[in-house]
Amino acid sequence: MSETGTRRLRVHRFKRGDGGAHFDEFVVPAGPRTTVLDALRWIQLHADPSLALRHSCMHASCGTCGVQVDGQEELACVARLGDHRGDPVTVEPLANVPVLTDLVVDMADFFRRFGDRHPVLRASEAVAGAQPPDGLDRFVRLEDCIECGLCLSACPVAATSARYAGPAALSAAQRLLEEPRGADRDDVLAWAGRPEGAWRCHVGMECTRACPADALPAERIMALRRELGGREAGARP
Amino acid sequence: MAQARYDEHVLIVGGGGTGGALAHDLALRGLRVTLVERGELTSGTTGRHHGLLHSGGRYAVSDRESATECIEENRILRRICPGTLETNDGLFVAVEEEDLAYLEPFVEGCAACGIPTQRLTGAEALRLEPNLNPAVLAAVRVPDATMDGWRMPLRFFATARHNGAEIRTYTAVEGLLVHDHHVSGAALRDHVTGRCGEVRADVVVNATGPWSERVAAMAGVEVPIRPSPGVLVAVRGRLCNMVLNRLHKSGDGDIIVPQRALSVVGTSSWVVDDPDELGVPEDHVERMYAEGAKLVPAVRDTPMRAAWSAARPLIGARSAGDSGRELSRTFKTFDHRETDGVEGFVTITGGKGTTLRAMAEVCADVVCRKLGIDEPCRTRETVLLPHEAYYRAAA
């Protein structure tokens, strides 16, 4: 990171069995390209090695480093400090999932919301004019959704109901209707039509705004509802 | 969750791909396994790599040992990791006349290493990948693929956990328990609770990649590791479906790996002393754009999503050259009883994401031999659980 100045960071801290949560403040070097993750790793290396956070790929593809920066859900690896005006900039764990420690949330709670099938490999869009090589039926690629939990954290309905399936899981169900990959359409619709399913969404669109992978969760929930509506003659349970 | 069949306990330090594959291998052989990682899994080198599942083509001319390892593991991972790989193959592309001089040695090298190839004309290559540099002269198709640097290794951790391995993240090794040239465990700090403690084990395995020199020093031994970072740049948009490589001797910015809705251009190569302090040199980012655009001109005008560095754990003395390119990509297991007279301590390092399973197999063989346990490796045939099973195991 090119160090043209410093910024103040206010970071959520929590250690199990060590009293309640609190915030610690740090001053970190910051240049024009410094990300929130750069700043947090600088704290780990130079100020407080006990700070726990999640990160892996550094390029918004794994989905591990989701946090709230000044109240906005972001992937720390691509969130630039310079895009946040807070002084200090406040960094907190994602909401609507249990916090394990500091900035680390328990993603088991995120994954338990999904239906039984949750394939991550899909047909790839064709680059204009491309044809697959001999022996390959079609190009494949990993799903857009990186299972980061930002949508769930931003969702106002998830904030009031731990049972709500939430945007990521419902989007995955809608993707199965688009591209079944062996899934049974009726099973998917029955799952999505449960009381804690697609009808609980209040269409606040916060999930789509938060999504760092342009996976369009809110639009997919609306598409699910249209499918369910077709099946249930528009009747909302 | 399965129970271990043996009482022997192995402590693995490091939650990267190698540690995960080793935990899986040893758990399948019936040993008790604990793995500790100071941060999140794959937060060191593994998660940050470009996502290329090598066919071995990249090393077929200069480093046939690595190339042969790659093609064997490529075939095995396709079998045991279905559903987590973008299996679209790869092209080695000649875009300048001088690249053509590399074509015959490349095809011969691939043949010698067992890597299947298909020669394509420039026009044929453009039909597969229309965004290729229209000046493409020729291409060679190889079985490269894209892996997910988080989800693919997570399947090893998930399966290990279901087979009884204990995976402890946010747990830092503060020191090794060493008495009379014998390592018997580690002093740990748990960053979830802030508490300290010890874990004892019959064998401690150092699987910390570019950090392995640092962990080995805790046992008073040296391992010859050169942390060699490379810069990678992810641009927005999927510019290709196949892995695109420049057909020439490995150099900077000569690979484009499509990954989800991104295209990752890599890499550069230099060496550092401290794998925690890599930085992202601005001129390397510019070089990724300039070189990447020679393969796919659209790279030049595609907005950047992220630029980052990852440190390869290359085996070599500190006196070796300073670009890192001259060092082999192969891996090595050090039984420190044999190299340093220290019992109970093994280091596995070098290698690459593609060869994680093979590294684990070789290391697990060493560990089992030390413990007098006669169990075969079963990881070649065992299809891994899906990545999210890692979290379902925790429930």
**Residue B304 belongs to some domain of the structure:** yes
Q: Contact, B10 vs B202, CB < 8 A?
A: yes
**Which CATH number goes with the domain that contains B293?**
3.30.9.10
Do the chains contact at A77 and B306, CB–CB below 8 Å? Answer: yes
* B contacts of A49 (beta carbons < 8 Å): 172
Contact A131, A72 (CB under 8 A): no
Residues B128 and B176 in one domain: no
Distance CA B361, CA B217 (A): 25
- How far apart (Å, rounded) are the C-alpha atoms in residues B109 and A119? 37
The answer on B378 and B273 residing in a single domain is no
pLDDT of residue B95: 97
Q: Among the three residues B315, B342, B377, which one is the final residue of a domain in this structure?
A: B315
* Domain shared by B28 and B164, yes or no: yes
Q: Say what the pLDDT of residue B243 is.
A: 98
Sheet holding B52-53, edge to edge: B52-53, B145-147, B85-86
B39 contacts in A (CB within 8 Å)? 52-55
Q: Please tell me the distance from the alpha carbon of residue B347 to that of residue B335, in angstroms, as a whole number.
A: 7
Among B257, B288, B315, give the residue marking a domain's end.
Answer: B315
Say if residue A170 is exposed, middle or buried (CB neighbours under 10 Å; 0-12, 13-18, 19+): buried
- Pair (B207, B110) in one structural domain: no
Would residue B54 count as lying in a domain?
Answer: no
Query: Are B47 and A58 an interchain contact pair (Cβ–Cβ within 8 Å)?
Result: yes
Contact B260/A127, CB-based, under 8 Å? no
Distance in angstroms (rounded) separating the CA atoms of residues B18 and B346: 13
| Domain-located, residue B274 | yes
Same domain assignment for residues B167 and B309 = no
Selecting from A61, A104, A131 the residue whose C-beta is nearest the C-beta of B170 gives A104
What residues of A are in contact with residue B150 (Cβ under 8 Å)? 56-57, 61-64
Question: Which residues of chain A register pLDDT less than 70?
Answer: 1-3, 231-237
For residues B65 and B73, the answer to whether their CB atoms sit within 8 Å is: no
Residues B214 and B232 placed together within one structural domain of the fold: no
Q: Which residue in the set B130, B148, B172 is minimally distant from A129, CB to CB?
A: B130
Min Cα distance B175 → chain A (Å) is 15
Q: Specify whether B137 is located in the same domain as B163.
A: no
Q: Number of folded domains in chain B? A: 2
User: Buried (b) or exposed (e) across B107-137, using 16+ Cβ within 10 A?
Assistant: bebbeebebebbebebebbbebbbbbbeebb
Residues of A in contact with B84 (CB under 8 A): 120-121, 142
Residue B94 lies in a domain: yes
**Lookup result for tokens 């970072």:** B229
Residue B77 falls within a domain, yes or no?
no
Domain span including residue B273:
88-146+226-315
Residue B380, token pair as written in the block: 């070649």
Report if residue B29 sits inside a domain. Answer: yes
On whether both B262 and B294 belong to a single domain, the answer is yes
Which domain-ending residue is among B315, B348, B374? B315
DSSP classification of residue B323: S
- Give A58-114 pLDDT, tens digit per residue: 999 999 999 999 999 999 999 999 999 999 999 999 999 999 999 999 999 999 999
Residue A201 is predicted with a pLDDT of 97
Return the pLDDT at A129.
Answer: 83
Residue A16: both structure tokens together = 């199990």
Looking at residue B1, its pLDDT comes to 65
Identify whether residues B272 and B388 lie together within a single domain.
Answer: no
Q: Does A17 touch chain B (CB under 8 A)?
A: yes
Q: What is the CATH number of the domain that holds B372?
A: 3.50.50.60
Comparing CB atoms, the residue among B259, B387, B391 nearest residue A61 is B259
In a shared domain, residues B127 and B195? no
Q: What are the beta bridge partners of residue B146?
A: B52, B86
* Residues B155 and B297 placed together within one structural domain of the fold: no
What's the pLDDT at B316? Answer: 82
Residues B195 and B343 in one domain: yes
CB contact under 8 Å between B232 and A104, yes or no, is: no
Domains and CATH numbers, chain A: 5-106 (3.10.20.30), 109-231 (1.10.1060.10)
**Chain B: residue whose CA lies nearest to A35:** B306
A18:B47 CB<8 A: no
Terminal-residue alpha carbon distance, chain B: 11
One pLDDT digit (tens) per residue for chain B, 395 residues: 677 899 999 999 999 999 999 999 999 999 999 999 999 999 999 999 999 999 999 999 999 999 999 999 999 999 999 999 999 999 999 999 999 999 999 999 999 999 999 999 999 999 999 999 999 999 999 999 999 999 999 999 999 999 999 999 999 999 999 999 999 999 999 999 999 999 999 999 999 999 999 999 999 999 999 899 999 999 999 999 999 999 999 899 999 999 999 999 999 999 999 999 999 999 999 999 999 999 999 999 999 999 999 999 998 865 555 667 666 778 999 999 999 999 999 999 999 999 999 999 999 999 999 999 999 999 999 999 999 999 986 54
Tell me which residue of B329, B380, B324 sits closest to B350, measured CA to CA. B329
| Within-domain flag for B199 | yes
Contact A58 B395 (CB under 8 A): no
- Read off the DSSP letter of residue B126: H
The predicted pLDDT at position B386 comes to: 96
Please answer yes or no on whether A127 and B85 come within 8 Å at the CB atom. no
In this structure, are residues B389 and B159 in contact, taking their beta carbons and an 8 Å threshold? yes
Whether residue B60 is contained in a domain is answered as no
Residue A146: closest C-alpha in chain B: B260
Which of B43, B387, B391 lies at the smallest CB-CB distance from A55? B43
